[in-house]
Amino acid sequence: MKTTPNTIVKALAFAAIFTLGAEAFAAPKKPAPESSGVQRMPTVTSLAGSILEEQPVDETGRPEWTSARRFTGTRVYIQKAPWEFGIESWWRIKHKRDGTLRHRLLQEVEIGLPGRLQLDLYTDHEGDNTGAFHFHSFNVELRYALAEWGKIWGNPTIYAEYKFADHHWGPDVYEFKLLFGDQLAPRWHWGLNFVWEAELGGDREQEFQVTGGLSYTVIDGKLGVGVEAFYDRDSVKGARGSAVDIFAVGPSIQWRVTKNIHVDLNCMFGTNKQSERQIAYLIVGYDFGPGESKKKSYTPISGQRN
């Protein structure tokens, strides 16, 4: 058969079409396996979506909002990382049903310890309706959190306190508390305490209390508002069956003036005749900053609150 240029062109075109069709219907190639020397990066969970007050601040995993006392009468977990220090000044006013006032001034030093412990030392000065104050007691308080934050429901914490009293004004007192607290929902935080307190002399007064608080973060790291309440059953030796029951409730507010300074205000109103008319708290606290363990060993990927 005679070969012409047209025949050659047609043959080449047919071969090209056949080759393209064969490749189109061929099975796709499997990707080459990754080299064993290549390491995958670990999956990282970002906290950027949460507010800064709810991000962890130390090795216990506790959120930032626990670092400054959120509720005036209810404690939550521990407030300080190991070797972190803070101070607080308290002023409590009780307006009684007979129109008189009772004052209490507290000066407190807070010390974070290793092992989920916190030591608090403070002095107590009492004042009467005339404004005359006297030293009442020196108090030692120790807290122990049972686990890292979030490991047990309510983050239970054991609290023990002993008050070395000026016996001219009253006997020594011991106190035990069981502390609970957590985040209810984004920006919503709660605390609940069960308290047992007893005198070692005098009238042998005994108190059982339940205190609680609920707070909402209005401005992250700056302003929180909420409500606090407490129930107190008070009795003395020889009249345990005639205990006095007190219940009060009212609004509270926390203002974070700077990253180190917080101010707490609370005013509760008595709901029965045995309760005081009002109980008001003003607390001013200063935190000296993170301890060495907090700075070196724990830095959340989303950063710290400024």
| Res 128: pLDDT | 87
Q: Any idea which residue has 């404690």 for tokens?
A: 75
Q: How far is CA 228 from the centre of its chain?
A: 15
Average pLDDT of the chain is 84
Tokens encoding 78: 């521990």
pLDDT tens sequence across 35-46:
445 454 443 334
| Res 177: pLDDT | 98
Residues 202-217 as b/e (b if ≥16 CB within 10 A, e otherwise) read: eeebbbebebbbbbeb
Secondary structure of residue 305 in the 3-state scheme: coil
Q: How far is CA 203 from the centre of its chain?
A: 36
CA atoms within a 13 Å half-sphere pointing along the CA-CB vector of 180: 14
pLDDT class of 7 with cuts at 50, 70, 90: very low
pLDDT class of 290 with cuts at 50, 70, 90: low
- Rounding to the nearest 10 degrees, give the CA dihedral for residues 130, 243, 138, 269: -50
pLDDT tens sequence across 248-280:
999 999 999 999 999 999 999 999 989 999 999
pLDDT tens sequence across 140-192:
999 999 999 999 999 999 999 999 999 989 999 999 999 999 999 999 999 99
| Res 129: pLDDT | 83
User: Cα separation of 303 and 306, whole Å?
Assistant: 9
User: Cα separation of 290 and 278, whole Å?
Assistant: 36
Phi-psi region of 54 (alpha: psi -120 to 50; beta: other; left: phi over 0): alpha
- The single-letter code of the amino acid at 284 is V
How far from 26 is each of 15, 20, 29, 32, CA to CA, in Å? 17, 10, 9, 18
Tokens encoding 240: 């345990």
For residue 17, pLDDT beyond 70? no
- The single-letter code of the amino acid at 15 is A
pLDDT tens sequence across 38-91:
454 443 334 445 799 999 999 999 999 999 999 999 999 999 999 999 999 999
User: Cα separation of 35 and 236, whole Å?
Assistant: 78
| Res 80: pLDDT | 95
Domains, the chain, in order of start with CATH, read 52-297 (2.40.160.40)
pLDDT tens sequence across 213-254:
999 999 999 999 999 999 999 999 988 888 999 999 999 999
| Res 45: pLDDT | 39
Q: Any idea which residue has 């006013």 for tokens?
A: 93
Top pLDDT among 13 and 255 is at 255
Tokens encoding 136: 């009442």
- Tell me the H-state helices in the chain: 5-25, 292-297
| Nearest residue to 94 (alpha-carbon basis) of 232, 225, 275, 234 | 275
Rg (CA), the chain: 32
- The single-letter code of the amino acid at 85 is F
Local structure of residue 59 (DSSP, 8 states): T
| Res 44: pLDDT | 37
